[in-house]
Amino acid sequence: MKFDTAIIFAGGKSSRMGRDKALLPFGGYDTLTEYQYRRLSKIFNRVYISTKNDKFNFNGQFLIHLDWIRLIILSSQFIGNYYSHYLGRFRIVDWRVI
């Protein structure tokens, strides 16, 4: 059984690292983000990568514009709050944050 959707947030500045850690090689892949994407794709039906610009050189599902993420997060919070308040005794709302 696979979970529904995962979003990898890869749009940070990495100011403490001095360079973009999402672009560092990791686990035999060109980037840490590609490693995460490939691993999560095995357990989620859909995996999206949220980023501020097009900086990756592998095929994936990218959410480049920040407004899409805001819309998804606000929609998820509304739906989650609605279910837990009105339908909480009938359904379990299960959130996974990675």
Whether the pTM exceeds 0.75: the reply is no
- Token pair 């909480």 is found at 88
Nearest alpha carbon to residue 31 among 47, 19, 43, 46: 19
CB 25 within 8 A of CB 31: yes
Query: How do residues 47-59 score in pLDDT, each as one tens digit?
Result: 888 887 888 888 8
Query: How do residues 24-42 score in pLDDT, each as one tens digit?
Result: 999 999 999 999 999 999 9
Domain ranges for the chain, please list them.
3-66
